[in-house]
Amino acid sequence: MILFYLLGSVILIILLSTKFKFHPVSSLISVSFILGLLLKIEVLDIIKFIFDGVINSILGIGLIIFFSCIIGQCLKQSSSLNLFSQLILKTFKDKTLSSLNIIGLFIGSVVFCDSAFLVLSGITKTISSTASYSLNSLNISLAGGLYTSHNLIPPTPGPIAILNNFNSMELIGDTIIYGFLVSIPSSLISLIFASKIINKTKIKINYKSDISYREVFLPFLVIFIPLLIISINTITELIGFNLSREQIENIKTLSNPNFALFVGMSLSFFLPQVRNIKKLIFLESIKDFYPIIFLTSAGSAFGNIIKNSDLIEFLPLFFGNIDINLLNICLISFILGAIIKTSQGSSTSAMIISSSLIFPLISQLHLEAFGIIMTTLSIGAGSMMISHVNDSYFWIVSKKSDMSLKNSLMYFSTMTVFQSIGTFLFIIFLVKINSL
């Protein structure tokens, strides 16, 4: 019966969000309360668990998301995204599709994919008007890179929310490193779709631009420095420096994601034109911030009900006949993410809900850092499947590419299926290699 309640709650969240057009936040909070009642938790305790979940989310990832929103708006309003993109296109010259994919992958790790695509689609339109590459090809390559990092690489909201639900925020640096690693097959798949399936020409393009490296140096630092600071502890461990305990603790303190994003935000205020539009940037950042933090907090509330119920003990027992090892946990995580994403459209929601459901398993197994990271990325990979008509990003890519609904489903949606599966297969490969 307990399992029935859990499955029913997930189905109810999906139905409320899709069929009855409830806001995802309303759906999550409402179902959290209903699930608590069904699990015979006292009403006051339900309210407390929901409140605690919301507060823990705000305190855990609120500043990270807010700083990211400000960075994104500074880059957007200062035209730095365009400058940075133009320089990459100029540097790689005839590798235009590859350049756009790299742009998407790199920028999408800091700037949300919807906003980034809306800004950068202007570049693809300019290129398509002066060259023989179709606009579809260019946009698919860019969209694929952005979609990849959005689902796999912190500090984007989804992966951060997963780590927060897993009580593993200290692993954000490691997740960035592994996130970029497992992004390789996903990006390559989107590149193949762009170059082989959609694009029919073989003409090379030499994208001409007067942009200099000096002009793009600061925008590059705004994106790169936070990622570097967060990952510095992981990089230090990988290199194998012989450090004292005090030095290790200092590095861990330095690599705090709040500090890293604060540094990035501070640098972004020195971007061209930003000084004169700080009020606009702040207001637009608030608009970006509140839907995301509300969603992640509501998801955290749902997860906290599960964490404080009998489900935390029941789920591992339910899977008792299955060999609950890391490989199977990754598989379950992937399937959960895929089902929820495809059903209700939002990758971030899918990641939040899936991580709440999978937490009892990983808590019982006491997974090490590598296992938690692979589970996180498996959920992210599943949450890439399938972007279609219930996903806002699908419509943004479709409309900006002037694609018909049929072609959008044929090219973009199909690409996300292959991206999802390809990424997960690579994760399984890494798990297998690690177990040897």
Contacts of 44 (CB under 8 A, 6+ apart): none
| Other Cβ atoms closer than 10 A to 136 | 23
Convert the pLDDT of each residue in 303-352 to its tens digit: 999 888 876 666 655 555 566 788 989 999 999 999 999 988 889 989 99
Q: 296 Cβ partners below 8 Å, 6+ apart?
A: 57, 61, 65, 157, 160, 161, 164, 348, 352
pLDDT of residue 247: 75
Instruction: Please report which residue ranges of 131-273 form alpha helices under DSSP H.
Output: 135-152, 157-165, 172-192, 213-239, 245-254, 257-268
Q: Which residues of the chain have pLDDT under 50?
A: 201-206
DSSP structural state of residue 309: S
Cα–Cα distance for residue pair 240/37, rounded to 1 Å:
51
User: Is the CB of residue 163 less than 8 Å from the CB of residue 172?
Assistant: yes
- In one-letter notation, the amino acid at residue 247 is Q
What pLDDT is stored for residue 202 in this prediction? 42
* DSSP H stretches of helix in 240-325: 245-254, 257-268, 278-307, 311-318
Tell me how far apart the alpha carbons of residues 19 and 381 are, in angstroms, rounded to a whole number. Answer: 25
Nearest Cα residue to 268 out of 4, 72, 38: 72
Residue 315 has a pLDDT of 62
3-15 core/surface letters (b: 16 or more CB in 10 A; e: else): eeebeebbebbbe
Asked whether the bond before 155 is cis by omega within 30 degrees of 0, the reply is: yes
The answer to whether residues 300 and 65 touch, using CB atoms and an 8 Å cutoff, is no
Model confidence over 184-210: pLDDT tens digits?
A: 999 999 998 888 777 654 444 445 566
Residue 312 is predicted with a pLDDT of 64
Angstrom distance (rounded) from CA 46 to CA 50: 6
Structure tokens at 404: 């018909």
What pLDDT, on the 0 to 100 scale, is given for residue 204? 47
* CA 171 – CA 251 distance, rounded (Å): 14
Q: Is 410 exposed, middle or buried (0-12, 13-18, 19+ CB in 10 A)?
A: middle
Decide: residue 312, CB within 10 A, 0-12 exposed, 13-18 middle, 19+ buried. Answer: middle
Unique residue bearing structure tokens 């330095």: 254
